[in-house]
Amino acid sequence: MATLVRSAAAVEPGRPLRLAKRTTNLFRPRRPSDGPGLDASGLTGVVSIDPEAGTADVQGMCTYEDLVAETLPHGLVPTVVPQLRTITVGGALAGLGIESSSLRNGLPHEAVLELDVLTPAGEVVTAAPSGEHADLFRAFPNSYGTLGYATRARLRLDRTEPFVAVRNVRFGSVAEVAAAIGKIAADGSWDGEQVDFCDGVLFDPGEVYLCLGRFVAGEEARTLAPAPSDYTGQKIYYLSLRERSIDVLRTQDYLWRWDTDWFWCSRAFGVQNPLVRRLWPRRWRRSDVYRRIVGLDERLDLTGHLADLRHRPRNERVVQDVEVPLDQVESFMAWFTGHVPMSPVWLCPLRLASPEPWPLYPLEPHRVYVNVGFWGGVPIAEGAHDGDVNRQIEMAVAVRHGHKSLYSTSTYGRETFDTLYGGLDYAAVKDRYDPAGRTPTLYEKAVQGA
């Protein structure tokens, strides 16, 4: 902590504060930094775990991979574990994390009991749901570092079992899937079995799967499958949905089932080719490795130059997660599949665990949403411009009363942005904790690339 505070104090006035991080899960353009980043290298661990209370004190730069490794031996797991190993606790709380437990447990920040934050003013404060810094506690989610950086969080944990049993249920339309999600949200079960986890994949509008998981102990796991599945080797998780109606994974393997192939995005690197897969070291089959390759491509524009050499159109990068109300998901997917040639698509239902909305990402309490995740690129049509498809997606989400995560490209005008992302609430908290403007505003960071 002291190192971080000293590094913040050493940044000259007028220069922006920014964390020095080796990895990132952001996909929006950023201006190059002209100074040193804040040194948070000492804040990467788990401070303590209280098995009886079911809580953990965790430093802000601790990855969920490291946190899960510490909690599982106690029979505990974070209430929501974002699907990529190197997402940090602070990153998930200042951004937005989501996973298949989000229909039951909401979003990661809803399990926070208290939060230590290094504010842009250089002060470390403890924010909690009530008290002097309750305004910062409520505004921190979706602030993306513009209100400060989490140095420690006390998190509520879930009880767990050694295995997760998954039913992969196929549906013939998005309408059928939406109806099933509504039933699961109301009952907490499907076809007589409890549902602890719910997400899904749309391969095309007539082939959609829900993956319905529940914690199981060893004895029941062995009755369902002779051995748990392993998707860190030759097998590819998302393809298994078409092949297995019942699957059993160790809990830690279930939590990271998407990471090995970065959902399905490892296709772009040839890693799903059986020969390449055998030669590609297992330790490199990870989302952070793929992300570094993408980062290199971004810096050198290799994909763009290759398209030019082949006299083909360049691609617009379309990497987005959007939250669409359940009653609008059929309409949105009909629009999406007709306008954006990308598949598969991830579907992850969620519902806030809190009775009140969070001001910077104001989803309605008690309302069920579906996160639609799509990650790739589409050719820029003749006469079109880079960014057109992302703008169309933003409009399609907005007219359906949805929201879009801000980890990737955003094109909103300032007035629209402030309306969607709690501009008035944000401005008040920003003025209090960053009176000198040492970090960019949320609009400057999310849209203008500051």
User: What does pLDDT average to over the chain?
Assistant: 93
pLDDT at residue 7 in the model: 65
Percent of the chain whose pLDDT exceeds 70 = 94
**What local confidence, expressed as pLDDT, does residue 1 receive?**
63
**pLDDT greater than 90 at residue 193:** yes
Name the residue ranges covered by the structural domains of the chain. 2-160+424-446, 163-258
Give the per-residue pLDDT at 393: 98
Confidence of residue 211 (pLDDT cuts 50, 70, 90): very high
Q: In terms of Cα–Cα distance, which of 166, 180, 276, 163 is closest to 220?
A: 163
Region 181-201 average pLDDT: 97
What number is the average pLDDT over the span 305-319? 90
Mean pLDDT, to the nearest integer, of 315-334? 97
pTM beyond cutoff 0.85: yes
Q: Mean pLDDT throughout 315-341?
A: 97
Q: Residue 107 contacts by C-beta under 8 Å, 6 or more apart in sequence?
A: 80, 96, 97, 98, 141, 350, 352, 353
- Alpha-carbon distances, residue 65 vs 77, 195, 256, 306 (angstroms): 11, 24, 9, 36
Please tell me the class of the 2-160+424-446 domain.
alpha beta
Predicted local distance difference test score (pLDDT) of residue 12: 67
Q: What is the mean pLDDT of residues 90-118?
A: 96
- The letter for the amino acid at 77 is V
CB–CB of 201/347 below 8 Å? yes
In this prediction, residue 300 carries a pLDDT of 87
Through-space distance between the first and last CA atoms of the chain, rounded to whole angstroms: 25
pLDDT of residue 24: 77
The whole-number pLDDT of residue 33 equals 62
Alpha-carbon span 81 to 252, nearest angstrom:
10
The tens digit of pLDDT for each residue in 117-144 reads 999 998 999 999 999 999 999 999 999 9
Q: What distance in Å separates the CA atoms of residue 57 and residue 48, rounded to the nearest whole number?
A: 5
Predicted confidence at residue 288, as pLDDT, reads 94
- Give the mean pLDDT of 262-269: 95
Per-residue model confidence as pLDDT tens digits over 268-301: 999 999 999 999 999 999 999 999 999 898 888 8
For 144-182, how does the pLDDT look when each residue is reduced to its tens digit (9 = 90+)? 999 999 999 999 999 999 999 999 999 999 999 999 999
| Whole-number percent of the chain with pLDDT over 90 | 85
Give pLDDT, residue 19: 75
Helix (H, G, I), strand (E, B) or coil at 205: coil
pLDDT, one tens digit per residue, over 27-71 is: 876 766 666 677 777 899 999 999 999 999 999 999 999 999 999
Backbone angles phi, psi at 91, to 5 degrees: -65, -40
Query: What pLDDT does residue 160 have?
Result: 97
